[in-house]
């Protein structure tokens, strides 16, 4: 694949991913608002200059903007796309509209505002469940490699901890696992941290403690990342169809698979973020827009290269991008639930205060919170972008 073709494919893949997960997030807010009788003044797909716009019968302006990197819904009474209250506009609306002001988001009861706010992340989790379930139903679910040790690298952390070939790992730090893939995802972000493994060895049940070693790993694209590694090898894959480990599933099993895979992603991501906040994990695996674009491009390139025909390449491209959208949707939902003003989680914190204190936080305090929240989000973005740049530089130096 030429460099130009790769760039165009990567750009398309990135726009596809961001557009899907963000628009679904905002549609969650929009439909929850409709259910609660809140008027949406505008729904924008993308940012920047308007390419097309139209007003529906409910008075909402739907627009497609020039930069398709997300979107937003703006409710009546909002000062901006972050749904912060506009005090002057709210006062004027209440006086001018009277009972009709009930269509304003900020005049709704706490439960309605909380529901509308939480609906965005909820929509992301529902999207992830739908994606994983649909993939399992249409092409089969993965035949997971069992959490059985196939080999132990000499001189590794696993050997030091006493692992043996044939050991079955049933839990990590008290959390039950069922596949070897879960071992990998639990270990890579914990270099230098001691981990407790509950192991079944024949008739014995024992707990082994191992500390993954920080290991610089080079990927197929020439970039390097530092992961935690134990030195455990898995057992040979037993079930394969056309080199992709799949197994047929029914509707109920597919839905269960979608829920399970979404919950696994939520649990692992949540614990990783929690460890970062408490200083127990390195933030080097956090990615920003550049990292997402890189992941989208690499996924697209792998998919196209793996196909034996143009049709198979297109099929793999679609399947893998949709699957990546599922994981990205989980990440977006979780990030938005962080208790940071300007994010959905910050709004929910304000509403919790209002429910307990029986009065809303003052407009001044909310405004300060939004500014601090914006600064914190920008700092997080800068950190993630720094990680992305370091990875990109590692491909050349």
- The residue among 276, 245, 161, 176 whose CA lies nearest residue 210 is 161
Averaged over 190-206, what is the pLDDT?
92
With H, G, I as helix, E, B as strand and everything else as coil, classify residue 245: coil
Per-residue confidence (pLDDT) for residue 158, from 0 to 100: 95
Per-residue confidence (pLDDT) for residue 165, from 0 to 100: 92
230 close to 212: Cβ distance less than 8 angstroms: yes
Which of 152-161, 200-209, 237-246, 276-285 bottoms out in mean pLDDT, i.e. has the lowest?
237-246
Per-residue confidence (pLDDT) for residue 106, from 0 to 100: 79
Per-residue confidence (pLDDT) for residue 243, from 0 to 100: 45
Rounded Cα–Cα distance for residues 93 and 130 (Å):
40
Q: How much of the chain exceeds pLDDT 90, in percent?
A: 39
> Which H/E stretch holds residue 38?
none
> Which H/E stretch holds residue 167?
none
Per-residue confidence (pLDDT) for residue 240, from 0 to 100: 41
262-289 per-position pLDDT tens digit: 998 898 888 888 888 777 778 888 888 8
Mean pLDDT for the chain overall: 86
- Residue ranges with strand state E in the chain: 40-55, 61-75, 141-142, 149-152, 168-172, 175-176, 195-201, 204-210, 213-218, 224-229, 232-234, 246-247
Confidence tier at 231 by pLDDT (50, 70, 90): very high
Per-residue confidence (pLDDT) for residue 142, from 0 to 100: 62
* Positions marked catalytic: 26
Residue 144 pLDDT > 70: no
């Amino acid at each position: 694949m030429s460099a130009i073709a790769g760039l165009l494919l990567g750009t398309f893949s990135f726009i596809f991913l961001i557009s899907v997960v963000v628009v679904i997030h905002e549609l969650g807010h929009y439909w929850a608002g409709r259910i609660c009788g809140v008027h949406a003044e505008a729904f924008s797909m993308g940012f920047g200059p308007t390419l097309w716009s139209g007003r529906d019968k409910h008075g909402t302006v739907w627009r497609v903007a020039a930069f398709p990197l997300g979107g937003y819904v703006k409710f009546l009474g909002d000062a901006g796309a972050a749904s912060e209250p506009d005090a002057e506009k709210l006062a004027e609306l209440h006086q001018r509209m009277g009972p009709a002001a009930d269509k304003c988001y900020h005049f709704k009861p706490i439960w309605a505002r909380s529901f509308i706010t939480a609906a965005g992340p909820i929509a992301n989790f529902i999207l992830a469940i739908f994606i994983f379930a649909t993939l399992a139903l249409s092409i089969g679910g993965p035949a997971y490699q069992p959490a059985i040790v196939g080999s132990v690298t000499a001189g590794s952390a696993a050997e030091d901890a006493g692992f043996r070939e044939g050991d079955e790992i049933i839990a990590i730090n008290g959390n039950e696992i069922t596949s070897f893939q879960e071992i990998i995802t639990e270990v890579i972000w914990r270099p230098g941290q001691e981990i407790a493994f509950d192991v079944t060895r024949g008739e014995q049940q024992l707990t082994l403690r191992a500390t993954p070693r920080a290991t610089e790993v080079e990927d197929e694209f020439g970039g390097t990342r530092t992961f935690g590694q134990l030195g455990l090898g898995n057992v040979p894959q037993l079930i394969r169809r056309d080199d992709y480990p799949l197994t047929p599933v029914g509707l109920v099993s597919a839905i269960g698979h979608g829920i399970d895979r979404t919950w696994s992603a939520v649990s692992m991501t949540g614990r990783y973020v929690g460890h970062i906040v408490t200083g127990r994990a390195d933030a080097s695996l956090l990615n920003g827009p550049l990292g997402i674009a890189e992941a989208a491009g690499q996924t697209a390139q792998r998919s196209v290269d793996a196909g034996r025909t143009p049709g198979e390449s297109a099929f793999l491209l679609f399947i893998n991008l949709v699957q990546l959208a599922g994981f990205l949707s989980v990440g977006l939902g979780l990030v938005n639930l962080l208790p940071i003003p300007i994010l959905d989680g910050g709004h929910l914190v304000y509403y919790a205060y209002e429910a307990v204190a029986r009065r809303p936080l003052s407009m001044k305090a909310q405004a300060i919170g939004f500014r601090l929240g914006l600064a914190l989000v920008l700092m997080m973005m800068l950190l993630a972008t720094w990680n992305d740049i370091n990875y990109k530089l590692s491909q050349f130096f």
